[in-house]
């Protein structure tokens, strides 16, 4: 599903490559029929915001938004497990899921980094990609609500993902609005170890340095995930709903 690769790139650290690939990204958004015209328009606005402004300012804004505290962490398991030992096992299970599918990631990449997970889903059959998003729908809604609270255009990515998962974005986010409004804002600095992600430069170093290659895959023809197999460490949307507040600040 090509739109998942687009959203993956939009949610990653902004780079010159992303800016230079603006036309290709715009065309992919136009051609996407998995999301409504309203969601396509919101993604256009975010792409315009990223590409029209000074790149260094955009990078600084990105780091301030996603690199402080845990509430907007782009690491899925940080919202579910925090720093508990369960997080390590969940990462191992998720790596096994990638390996079974023939999806190769770098030795220093964290498998639960949302842009990486979306890239993985973009290589799967549509039904499996939707199931993979449905598994984390509550977290997607929570991040959208928190980004709305900060009036951030990045909320559009999570609303689009909710729609692809089969949820109604407005309703899913509205159900969490009161909870999010009552949360204390967390802008605490994160330790260097917490910022590691896609490569040696850290989670926010950016992973796209060459052409965007929206249709390129890290894997060839790969087997479908087995029904009932481990997905994202075995948590479901309902389970995430009970634990998302933990460590989410």
- Higher pLDDT: 171 or 225? It is 171
| 139 vs 81: CA distance, rounded Å | 13
pLDDT(96) > 60: yes
Mean pLDDT calculated for residue range 1-17: 95
Question: What residues contact 180, with CB distance under 8 A and at least 6 apart?
Answer: 142, 145, 146, 148, 149
Position 245 confidence tier, pLDDT thresholds 50, 70, 90: very low
Identify whether the C-beta of residue 23 lies closer than 8 Å to the C-beta of residue 55: no
pLDDT of residue 210: 52
Identify the three-state secondary structure at position 75: strand
| 249 vs 227: CA distance, rounded Å | 34
Position 13 confidence tier, pLDDT thresholds 50, 70, 90: very high
Average pLDDT of the chain is: 80
pLDDT of residue 78: 80
Integer-rounded Cα radius of gyration of the chain: 17
Query: Over the stretch 64-76, which tens digit does the pLDDT of each residue have?
Result: 999 887 889 998 8
Query: Over the stretch 46-66, which tens digit does the pLDDT of each residue have?
Result: 999 999 999 999 999 999 999
Query: Over the stretch 188-217, which tens digit does the pLDDT of each residue have?
Result: 776 544 443 343 234 444 455 455 667 656
- Higher pLDDT: 101 or 234? It is 101
Identify whether the C-beta of residue 97 lies closer than 8 Å to the C-beta of residue 235: no
Query: Over the stretch 143-165, which tens digit does the pLDDT of each residue have?
Result: 999 999 999 999 999 999 999 99
Position 223 confidence tier, pLDDT thresholds 50, 70, 90: very low
Query: Over the stretch 116-125, which tens digit does the pLDDT of each residue have?
Result: 999 999 999 9
| 80 vs 223: CA distance, rounded Å | 28
- Higher pLDDT: 246 or 85? It is 85
């Amino acid at each position: 599903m090509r739109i998942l690769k687009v959203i993956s790139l939009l949610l990653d650290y902004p780079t010159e490559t992303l800016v230079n690939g603006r036309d290709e990204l715009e065309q992919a958004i136009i051609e996407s029929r998995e999301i409504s015209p309203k969601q396509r328009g919101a993604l256009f606005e975010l792409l315009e915001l990223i590409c029209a402004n000074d790149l260094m300012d955009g990078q600084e804004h990105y780091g301030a938004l996603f690199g402080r505290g845990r509430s907007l962490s782009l690491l899925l398991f940080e919202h579910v497990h925090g720093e508990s030992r369960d997080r390590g096992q969940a990462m191992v299970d998720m790596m096994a899921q990638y390996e079974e599918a023939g999806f190769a990631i770098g030795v220093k990449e964290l498998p639960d980094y949302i842009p990486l997970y979306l890239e993985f889903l973009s290589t799967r059959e549509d039904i499996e990609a939707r199931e993979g998003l449905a598994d984390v729908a509550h977290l997607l809604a929570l991040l959208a609500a928190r980004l709305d609270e900060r009036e951030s255009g990045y909320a559009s990515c999570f609303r689009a993902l909710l729609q692809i998962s089969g949820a109604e974005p407005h309703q899913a986010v509205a159900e969490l609005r009161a909870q999010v409004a009552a949360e204390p804002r967390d802008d605490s600095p994160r330790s260097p170890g917490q910022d590691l992600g896609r490569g040696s430069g850290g989670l926010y170093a950016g992973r796209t340095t060459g052409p965007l290659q929206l249709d390129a895959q890290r894997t060839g023809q790969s087997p479908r995930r087995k029904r009932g197999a481990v997905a994202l460490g075995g948590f479901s949307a309902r389970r995430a709903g009970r634990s998302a507040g933990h460590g989410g600040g």
